[in-house]
Amino acid sequence: MPATVHVLAVGYADERVASTVTLLRDGATTVVVDPGMVADRRSILDPLTALGLTAEQVTDVVFSHHHPDHTLNAALFPRARFHDHMAVYRDDTWHDRDADGFAVSEHVRLLRTPGHTPEDVTTLVRTEQGLVALTHLWWHADGPAHDPFAHDPDLLAASRRAVLALGPTLIVPGHGRPFAPTDRTPA
């Protein structure tokens, strides 16, 4: 059975900032993506509980990049392996590996997508509804068309085009509600 995707907290970036925090379930693997800043930690933990899970049952955490608004609440998941662009971390172990193509589980893979930062990673999830891309290439459905904090705007555009070329049915952006990409999605 393919993986499932559950948004635990919808992010925003205006006068305040919070990351979109997402739960992925794929067989015995339970992944939280971008457990960053939220108004209250219960914004992450309560929806997790409503899905019948505890923080201790989360097996993996993925960081799209290392900005605090996407990593701040990582310690909520004491038994998890942590994934970023270059390694897998757990307790006091650090295993180097390139994220590009790394399989977190059968239906969850990582893809290097630099642009916002040089180290950005998109999480690709195969679901019954199709491919879901969890990424900071977009903050929300409207982009922004030009990321004001992009490390390399041209690389960001190339990464956006690469993700769109995969044909995702849904994009879970860094600071907004999931959206279905259209021909008007900023590339």
What is the pLDDT, as a whole number, of residue 90?
Answer: 97
Strand 12-13, strand 29-33: pairing: unpaired
What is the pLDDT, as a whole number, of residue 1?
Answer: 85
- What is the mean pLDDT of each successive set of 10 residues along the chain, which is 187 residues long? 96 96 98 98 98 98 98 98 98 97 98 96 98 97 93 96 98 98 94
What is the pLDDT, as a whole number, of residue 68?
Answer: 97
Written in H, E and C, the secondary structure of the chain is CCCEEEEEECCEECCCEECCEEEEEECCEEEEECCCCCCCCHHHHHHHHHCCCCHHHCCEEECCCCCHHHHCCHHHCCCCEEECCCEEEECCEEEECCCCCCEEECCEEEEECCCCCCCCEEEEEEECCEEEEECCCCCECCECCCCCCCCCHHHHHHHHHHHHHCCCCEEECCCCCCECCCCCCCC
What is the pLDDT, as a whole number, of residue 13?
Answer: 95
What is the pLDDT, as a whole number, of residue 178?
Answer: 98
CATH for 4-86+96-172 is 3.60.15.10
What is the pLDDT, as a whole number, of residue 114?
Answer: 97
What is the pLDDT, as a whole number, of residue 99?
Answer: 97
pTM of the full structure: 0.97
